[in-house]
Amino acid sequence: MTEWQVTATTIYCDAVDDDVTIMVNRDWSTRCTGYKKYAVSPDKETAKKLKSKAKRLGRNLVCEGQQDCIVTDYRDRLIAQDKAIPAPAKQVKKKSA
């Protein structure tokens, strides 16, 4: 198991044309800051900016949520790294004669 409590990285998310932070907890649950900002509860100003960006880029901008491949790929990469690191060896005490 990992020695950390939470790890995070900030990446550019093409789905919303903005930087977002992806957080992975020790139990491998994930959270993306873009999800709340763009999908769950966008305020009027954020929705307006997203619509303006979409028009400028000529494509629809939609947050794909917590199961977005960027989020899950980052989590899966951390899981693979965790499995690749051998667990610390347990020390066995020898009984003296």
Give pLDDT, residue 80.
93
Q: Model-level pTM?
A: 0.76
Residue-wise pLDDT for 39-87, tens only, equals: 988 899 999 999 999 999 999 999 988 888 889 999 999 999 988 877 6
The backbone torsions φ and ψ at residue 32, rounded to the nearest 5 degrees and listed phi first, read -120, 130
Rounded distance between C-alpha atoms, residue 67 and residue 30, angstroms: 9
Q: Of all residues in the chain, what percent are helix, strand and coil, respectively (each to 5)?
A: 40, 20, 40
Residue 37 near residue 13 (C-beta atoms within 8 A): no
